[in-house]
Amino acid sequence: MLYNRKMWLPKAAVLPVLLRTWPPAWNTYPVFIKICFIISMVALIGILLAMADIYIWRTAKRRKDRKKLRLSEDITRLLMNTVVMEPAKLNSGMSKAKLDTRPFLKLGINDKDVRSLFVCELINYRNYFTGAIAARVRQLYLDLSLDKEARKLLYKKNWETKSIVLSELFKMDIEVDNAYLLELTHHKNRYIRGFARLSMIKFTKGDPLAFLRQITEPISQWEEFEIFLVFQQKENYTLSSLEGLIAVDREPSVVSLCLKLAVYFKDLSAVKLIMDIIQTPDLKLRAEAIASLGKLEASDAEAFLISIYGAEPQEIRLVILTALGMIRSGNSLEFLENEFISSDDFETKMNASDALIKQYPLSQNTIDKLMNNSAALEHRILSHSLNPLINAL
Amino acid sequence: MRNFLNQFFTSYQNLVFIYCCAIYTVYAMLTFFSYLSIIANRRRNRIREKLVMIQSPLSPGISIITAAFNEEMTIIHNVRSLLNMNYPLFEVIIVNDGSTDQTLGKLVKEFQLTEVAFAYNYFIACTEVQQVYKSENPACSNLIVINKLNGGCKADAINAGINVSNYPYFLNTDVDCILDNDTLIQLIQPFVDDDKRVIATGATLRMANDCVIDSGVLVDAKVPTQWLPIFQEIEYIRSFVLGKMGWNLVNAIPNVSGGLGMFDKEIVVKAGGYDPTSFGEDMDMMMRMCKYMLETKQEYAIRYLPQSLCWTEGPSTMKVFKRQRIRWGRGLYQIFSSYYKLLFNPKYKMLGLVVLPYNFIFEFCAPFVECLGVLCYIYLIVFHLINWPFALVLLLFVYSFSILITLLAILWDQLVIRRYRIREVLKLCMFAFIEPIVYHPMVMIFALMGYANQFRKAKSHWGHMERKGFTQPKIEAIN
């Protein structure tokens, strides 16, 4: 409802009157009419400009798009011929041999737009190929001296340019001056800060976790995903001690990331640290810590989890039940059975049932007993947990 | 009496003028804000790579929940299209809301569904769920079909779907909507990349009436050819690209469309789920979610994306269009009768001081103001009290500004995506000139009829949208 309309006027009758009285009467008109008239004129000019802009802009864009498409095809063809389809060089370990850059220079990569499109294609190739091909794409980037220009752009004031260039260098595996990078990790712009952190973690010579210790403000989930991917893609990396990182006084988002890393790298030495932070007043973090114990299959923590169960709020209890199921030691069967039978809460029954089923075949006798003795809802819950189709996601 | 009327209409003229200036000031502001929002979105998209969401094992799971009522014609294609979404972790929940045709039968056959002993819990109230089906085909293991008694509305069916969903976020869409393949990646991004807790996200909806659709996938986007859907297309562009994107900048989005919206399940459940008695269930849900967040003193955000991610078939006959708009009118009336205590209430911050007052003054009251304005004009003309030059200037002011706003919305839309051919964009621009004269009065009248129906508590049924189906791509014969 963008309009407020209040009139329809017979134009034929009105126009002559207007023409007769206008413009000599202008000075006699009230201010609001004058303002309305001026705004109307501005709006009419705006209408013409908007329409012209749509037409001109679209026409120019269409031309640009066509040019871009042709260029993109040329780039793809060249990359396929030079980088991907040279199995002889790839197989003979010549992936680091200097590439013929002349055809690429003919594309006009000195032009800003062409360069941007070309780098974008290179990054795509590095995303979709690994090993020798990815290495040759990087080699090509270096041979064309694109890194030098990127390094220059890195010192520009514009935050967008800075973050795009940081991301480009990061994806091309090109290290940036460490001191400057460290400075950027405290930049006020979140994108620059984020990419600088990623680069620090990726290229740091020492322990990449050390850098996480410096983070004092919350990191977004997106950053968490990116940092996790960097750790995941680090070759031959073994996680060092998470002591001091999985701690109550640490920023919760950093602790959360470390919990995920501990699970991914199956770091059983972190179990003790995780158990220590379960006292945290942050319920979300507490739930995450308990879930991590489950994923780590930390049987040492089983008795501890059962001991705290009674004093925990409902949402944490549910997480404990799930964690016990994942630990799969068979030591918590009696506890889970009791919870299943005694609780009146649907979700508690469901989680206890799921936890029992996860411990199969250790829990076979318990499940059989419960199936034989249960009726109505309890029987349905057990059947639900036992059904492989329901749990197949 | 005559004197009184003269005085009343003279004063009313001044009131309307102030009203008009106020609304246009807000629109000018929104136009500027939406431009800033669109630019910010473009920049973010240039920096944030969607591959991260696809590669990351930490990406949160999403449940796509959609209700189907007598959709046998299109259900298979649409479900296939939903199952092919580009996202690493999601499930598709189809709620068959008591269809009387072959909707369920076709689903069972096509996706090799089998009834499972599902322990269904009514966390949120809904009508009785009769069966839950899962596919025996491993390729469709993320498909869940619920068969329930007809609840008479989409809200009830979505509640039934929420009860079985496994993931922390859910996408609420209509089964006949055609979604872009990257919808999930795009809509989840604000949830994981915002400083505040995002409780809902939405994106632009478009008319699918004349688009070329193949097996539930949009092949070619086209501007509708019939006049009613064209006007709706213009209205959608203005409302989403300009209105919602403008409010997005100041975190004051009033509503996430029922056609396409992603929600934080935890907040939806805590706010009590969708209200099946509401005619504007989407706005009602948003109101309750915002109210819950404010009452529990949690900071929140609702985000909108300018990208067109969903194409829906708009009413092309006056009968269906009228029914839809009357229902929307009733929904708006219900919102203000339910949440009037929040209006101008500083306790509810932006919601109480900006979102609701704006919607009350410029959305809810607009049909009254405009219709009374027309009566006022007729009166002034009949009694020769009109100052024609002034009237013409005012008319020009209202008309030109309205057109300018619409054209800027189309221009902003072109900045986001260029799906239409230039000829079609110009066609939209041309229709913008007649929209205020032909389409807008209808919308106002139907809104008033909706208010009247709701005031009288008239009985109403939701009605089933008669689908014409989509244009299939031409297959050229191979010689």
pLDDT at site B296: 96
In the predicted model, is pLDDT for residue A14 greater than 70?
Answer: no
**Per-residue DSSP letter, B196:** S
In the predicted model, is pLDDT for residue A6 greater than 50?
Answer: no
Task: List the single residue in A with minimal CA-CA distance to B386.
Answer: A9
Cβ-based contacts of A383 with chain B (< 8 Å):
117, 119
- CA distances, A322 to each of A263, A287, A315, B475 (Å): 16, 11, 11, 53
In the predicted model, is pLDDT for residue A9 greater than 50?
Answer: no
Q: What is the identity of the amino acid at B238?
A: R
Taking residues A95-119, what's their average pLDDT?
84
When pLDDT is cut at 50, 70 and 90, the band that residue B371 belongs to is very high
Tens of pLDDT along A324-382? 999 999 999 999 999 999 999 999 999 999 999 999 999 999 999 999 988 888 999 99
In the predicted model, is pLDDT for residue A304 greater than 50?
Answer: yes
Taking residues B135-142, what's their average pLDDT?
94
In the predicted model, is pLDDT for residue B200 greater than 80?
Answer: yes
In the predicted model, is pLDDT for residue A207 greater than 60?
Answer: yes
**What Rg do the C-alpha atoms of chain B give, in angstroms?**
23
pLDDT at site B284: 95
Distance of alpha carbon A371 from alpha carbon B372, whole angstroms? 70
Q: Is A3 exposed, middle or buried (0-12, 13-18, 19+ CB in 10 A)?
A: buried
Taking residues A32-46, what's their average pLDDT?
92
When pLDDT is cut at 50, 70 and 90, the band that residue A222 belongs to is very high
Q: What is the identity of the amino acid at A160?
A: E
Q: In this structure, what token pair is assigned to residue A25?
A: 């009467």
In the predicted model, is pLDDT for residue A94 greater than 60?
Answer: no
In the predicted model, is pLDDT for residue B477 greater than 60?
Answer: no
A43 vs B401: CB contact, 8 Å cut-off? yes
* 8 Å CB contact between B188 and B180: no
Q: What percent of chain A has pLDDT over 70?
A: 90
- Residue of B26, B30, B46 to mutate for A, most A C-beta atoms under 10 A: B46
In the predicted model, is pLDDT for residue B446 greater than 80?
Answer: yes
Cβ-based contacts of A13 with chain B (< 8 Å):
388
Task: List the single residue in B with minimal CA-CA distance to A128.
Answer: B51
pLDDT at site A8: 44
**Lowest-confidence range among A79-83, A86-90, B106-110, B363-367?**
A86-90
Q: List, in order, residues 6 or more apart from A387 with CB less than 8 Å away.
A: B116, B117, B118
Distance of alpha carbon B372 from alpha carbon B366, whole angstroms? 10
* 8 Å CB contact between B158 and B172: yes
Q: What is the identity of the amino acid at B433?
A: F
A2 vs B405: CB contact, 8 Å cut-off? yes
Q: What percent of chain A has pLDDT over 90?
A: 64
When pLDDT is cut at 50, 70 and 90, the band that residue B343 belongs to is very high
In the predicted model, is pLDDT for residue A21 greater than 70?
Answer: no
* 8 Å CB contact between B316 and B226: yes
A389 vs B116: CB contact, 8 Å cut-off? yes
My answer on whether omega of the bond before A23 falls inside 30° of 0, hence cis, is yes
Q: In this structure, what token pair is assigned to residue A308?
A: 């705290």
Task: List the single residue in B with minimal CA-CA distance to A164.
Answer: B47
When the pLDDT of each residue in chain B is averaged and rounded to a whole number, the result is 92
* 8 Å CB contact between B210 and B225: yes
Q: What is the ipTM of this complex?
A: 0.87
Tens of pLDDT along B152-194? 899 999 999 999 999 999 999 998 899 999 999 999 999 999 9
Secondary structure element (H or E) that encloses residue B212, with its range: strand B212-214
Question: Which A residues, 216 through 245, put their C-beta within 8 Å of a C-beta on chain B?
Answer: 220-222, 224-226, 228-229, 232
A6 vs B376: CB contact, 8 Å cut-off? yes
Q: How many other C-beta atoms can be found within 10 angstroms of the C-beta atom of residue B32?
A: 13
Taking residues A194-211, what's their average pLDDT?
86
When pLDDT is cut at 50, 70 and 90, the band that residue A216 belongs to is confident
When pLDDT is cut at 50, 70 and 90, the band that residue B474 belongs to is low
Q: What percent of chain B has pLDDT over 70?
A: 96
A9 vs B17: CB contact, 8 Å cut-off? no
Is A258 or B377 the better-scoring residue by pLDDT? A258
